[in-house]
Amino acid sequence: MKKILNIFLLLLLCASVTAAMAQAPAPSSGITAKPSKYSVAETMDRLEKIAKAKGITIFARIDHSNEAEKAGLKMRPTQLLLLGNPKAGTPVMIATPSTAIDLPLKALAWEDASGKVWLGFNSGEYLKQRHGIPDDLVKNVGAIAGLVDAALE
Lowest-confidence region among 5-14, 26-35, 49-58, 107-116: 5-14
- Tell me the CATH number at 146: 3.30.310.70
How many residues can be counted in the chain? Answer: 153
129 by DSSP, 3-state: which? Answer: helix
Query: Are the beta carbons of 59 and 84 closer than 8 angstroms?
Result: yes
Residue 11 lies in a domain: no
Which domain, by its residues, includes 106? 30-152
Residue 47 lies in a domain: yes
Residue 146 lies in a domain: yes
pLDDT at 36: 97
Residue 136 lies in a domain: yes
pLDDT at 30: 82
Residue 66 lies in a domain: yes
- For residue 138, is pLDDT > 70? yes
The total domain count for the chain is 1
pTM of the model: 0.81
- For residue 12, is pLDDT > 50? no
